[in-house]
Chains A and B, each alone.
Chain A
Amino acid sequence: AQSVTQLDSHVSVSEGTPVLLRCNYSSSYSPSLFWYVQHPNKGLQLLLKYTSAATLVKGINGFEAEFKKSETSFHLTKPSAHMSDAAEYFCVVSENDSWGKLQFGAGTQVVVTP
């Protein structure tokens, strides 16, 4: 069975400061891990994905995440927040034998203040 826990339901950062969104996962098999972003009234957009290649994954819009198997974590970071980063972020896990079924975390709401 697979599951994912996002440790923060709400994160508030100032524009220009670093962003850290925490995610821990549980998986019986080798997982694939994703971060998606959802802006209000828009579809989910893939930020980045880990599929057993490099453990440090770079995504779009300056985001990156590091897969740490020993800590079962896949935290998302960005060095400098932009106002346009305000959105809901979902950490997602998929097991390689689950025919593509995704398990979503509860989400983290990011607020960026000027």
Chain B
Amino acid sequence: GAVVSQHPSWVICKSGTSVKIECRSLDFQATTMFWYRQFPKQSLMLMATSNEGSKATYEQGVEKDKFLINHASLTLSTLTVTSAHPEDSSFYICSARILTAEEQFFGPGTRLTVL
């Protein structure tokens, strides 16, 4: 089956620093990748949609200058949390979709803790 990986699986950083999270589709080419955020005991909230080679589309209320998304290839998307603050601490999950398929394949998530 289609596998999506994320790296790192967890990261702790100091307030004010930037953190990059990678999302890779391992055995398929993903035309579209999605980034979600999940707070403890809550549902997933879509942050942005990215298509390979074009700018990401952000959901309302998501700061595009704070959450930088790059989708440089059909197998890699990155999310950079810039100038992280404790309120950015969360579980970040990516998913990848093939153009002809309805289904999204999810990565295992990255737990970010900002001190």
Which residues of A pack against B, CB within 8 Å? Answer: 32, 34, 36, 42-46, 49, 51, 90, 94, 99-107
- In the complex, are the beta carbons of B108 and A100 less than 8 A apart? no
- Which listed segment binds A: B13-21, B61-69, B79-87, B97-105? B97-105
| Contact of B93 with A43 in the complex, beta carbons under 8 Å | yes
CA distance A90 to B45 in the complex (A): 12
Does B74 belong to the interface (CB within 8 Å)? Answer: no
Task: List A contacts of B45 (CB < 8 A).
Answer: 104
Mostly, the A contact residues are strand
> Can you sample 12 A-B contacts with CB below 8 Å?
A34-B103, A36-B106, A43-B106, A43-B107, A44-B106, A46-B103, A99-B49, A100-B97, A100-B104, A102-B34, A102-B95, A106-B43
Bits for B34-70, please: 1 = Cβ < 8 Å to A, else 0: 1000000011111001000000000000000000000
Q: Which residues of A contact B102 (CB under 8 A)?
A: 32, 49, 51, 94, 100
Q: Which residues of B contact A107 (CB under 8 A)?
A: 42-43
Residue of B nearest to A4 (CB): B43
Question: Contact at B43–A49, with CB atoms within 8 Å?
Answer: no
Q: Are B42 and A106 in contact (CB under 8 A)?
A: yes
The complex places the Cα of A95 from the Cα of B94 at a distance, in Å, of 19
Q: A100-B49, A102-B104, A104-B43 are in contact. List 9 more A-B contacts (CB 8 A).
A: A43-B4, A44-B106, A46-B103, A100-B34, A100-B104, A102-B46, A102-B95, A104-B45, A107-B43
With CB as the reference atom, state the residue of chain A lying closest to B106. A44
Beta-carbon contact of B46 and A100 below 8 Å: no
Shortest beta-carbon distance, A38 to chain B, in Å?
9
